[in-house]
Amino acid sequence: MTDVRMGVVGCAGRMGINLLRQIDATEGCAIAGGSERPGHDAIGRDLGEIAGLASQGLTVVDAAPELFAASDVVLDFTVPAATVAHAALAAETGTRLVIGTTGTEAEDDAAIARAAEAVAIVRAANMSVGVNVLLQITQRLAGVLNEDFDIEVVEMHHRYKVDAPSGTALALGRAAAAGRGVDHDAVAQGGRHGITGERRRGDIGYAALRGGNVAGDHTVVFAADDERIELTHKAADRAIFARGAVTAALWLADREPGLYDMADVLGL
């Protein structure tokens, strides 16, 4: 079989480097190229140099269309505005897309969904196998426990993360809301400060911690009088997200247009 050619946008960032390394290490994959925003100091450098690999004979480009033209699948862990543009480009070129970008707004989500009408896209707030199992367990447990159990989602990430709560935390909260059959946005409670009054029954609360180089810790707390259940996933290295993303890219390589998630990829 011919290797699946995979391109990485934002290839010189922390996740981009992990993605390049994972593609290189995975059977059936080949690095097709990498791009960065115009003016980035990585432009023109060999991808192997960027990722600590052997020379690839491919240099970092500043034109995403060039990368999409060379790739079967592109992996995108960038920022919402860039991801929306890349989704439109994927639809135009027929290049399949894996999206791990978080922090999008409703209009961004709608644009990505429109692109998926023309091309196959896998989108997930978290690509790790463990987190996607946690999502399934959270939804099931929330459906079993009534509102005597308050639900809180606590997450911690490195000091450089710019959005809060994390996309994974929100995905866990939405899974809990789905388990209870309620509208997530109607019961979501963000960070608390000052005199907030007592907790409203049925709310799903969020707390976001930032510090150090934490790759990603998430805990869903189900707290009732005199008992508490805690479901926790801790990521020690971003490599787990890269492994999941490359697995998704391989799965996506022969899929028909549509918007898929990691539950589809993993058969959950």
**Which positions are annotated as active-site residues?**
157, 161
Side-chain half-sphere CA neighbours of 58 within 13 A: 26
Which of these, 99, 95, 38, lies nearest to 67 by C-alpha position? 95
Residue in 204, 25, 217 with CA at minimum distance from that of residue 130: 217
C-alpha span between 66 and 43 (Å, rounded): 13
Tokens matching residue 89: 């480009």
Q: Which helix (H) or strand (E) holds 134?
A: helix 129-144
Q: Residue 35 in contact with residue 67, Cβ under 8 Å?
A: yes
CA dist list (Å): 265 to 155, 164, 215, 219, 225: 25, 26, 23, 23, 38
58, 33 contact by CB (below 8 A) = yes
CB-based contacts of 241, cutoff 8 Å, min separation 6 = 15, 18, 77, 100, 126, 127, 128, 235
Whole-number Å distance between alpha carbons of 29 and 20? 10
Name the token pair of 267.
């058969």
In 214-247, which positions are buried (b, 16+ CB within 10 angstroms) versus exposed (e)? bbbbbbbbbbeeeeeeebebebeebbbbbbbbbb
